[in-house]
A and B are shown apart, each in its own frame.
Chain A
Amino acid sequence: DIQMTQSPSSLSASVGDRVSITCRASQSISSNLNWYQQKPGKAPKLLMYTASSLQSGVPSRFSGSGSGTDFTLTISNLQPEDFAAYYCQQTYITPWTFGQGTKVEIK
C-alpha cells in the first residue's frame, strides 16, 4: 500500500498568514492527489484535485503543487474560516490512502 505522510501534524497561524502543508507519498503517484478540508462534526470538503486543480467554489487563496512523491497545499491570506483539519489523499491506486492530517489552529 502507498503510505502518505503529511507534515506538520499541526500548526498555529494568524489571520492573514501564508501557510503550507506538505504531503509525501511512499512511491510515485503522478498527480493523483486530492486535498480535503474538514471542520468538526462535518464531512470532508474537497479543495484540490489532481494535485493542483482548484475545486469549483473553493477560494483562490488555496493552491496546490507537486507531482510524483512530493506535494504542497498552500493557503495564502489565512481567513478565520480556514482553521480546520486538512488531509491529502492519493487516488493513484487502490487502496486509496489518506495522510494522517494537519490541524491548522489559531495562534
Chain B
Amino acid sequence: EVQLVESGGGLVQPGGSLKLSCAASGFTFSGSSMHWVRQSSGKGLEWVGRIRSKTNNYATAYAASVKGRFTISRDDSENTAYLQMNSLKTEDTAMYYCTRHSMAGSSYRDNWGQGTLVTVSS
C-alpha cells in the first residue's frame, strides 16, 4: 500500500523558516517524481513544486509564488522528500500536501499524503 506521511508543520513567524518532510513507502521512491501542493483554509489548490528522480537529474520546478524562497530536495536512501521554506510570509499559511503522480502503462498513479499544516503568524 502506498503511503505518504508529511511532518514538520507548525507555527512560524513571518520571515522565518520551516522544513517539511514526506516519508514514502509502498512504491519505488527513487524512481518517482515527488510534488508538493498547498491549500489555504477555504481556498483552492496551489501546486508548489516538484523534484524529479536521479535519472532525470533531480530536476526541480517551482510555482512563481515560492520560487527563490522554497527548495525541494530528496533523500532516496531514506525514501523521503523535503520542502525547505525560507522567508515565510503570512500568505504561505496553508495545508501542505506531498503527492506522487506517474503514468504506468495506460494507468495513472496518483497518491496524496494527509497534509501538514503551516501557520505563518506573529
Contacts and interface: CB of A to CB of B under 8 A. Distances in A.
B114 interface: yes
A44 B63 CA distance: 19
A49 B103 CA distance: 10
Interface of A is mostly: loop
Interface string B48-76: 01100000000001111000000000000
Interface stretch (B12-20, B23-31, B39-47, B78-86): B39-47
A98 B114 contact: no
Interface hub of B62, B97, B112 (most chain A Cβ within 10 A): B112
A53 B63 contact: no
A89 B110 CA distance: 13
B101 to A, nearest CB: 7
B110 A49 contact: yes
B97 A43 contact: yes
Given A43-B113, A91-B101, A95-B61, A101 B44 contact: yes
Contacts of B49: 95
19 contacts: A1-B64, A34-B110, A38-B45, A43-B112, A43-B113, A43-B115, A46-B108, A49-B108, A53-B106, A53-B108, A56-B107, A87-B44, A89-B45, A95-B47, A95-B49, A95-B61, A95-B62, A96-B47, A101-B44
A50 to B, nearest CB: 7
Nearest to B113: A43
Contacts of B61: 94-95
Interface in A26-51: 34, 36, 38, 43-44, 46, 49-50
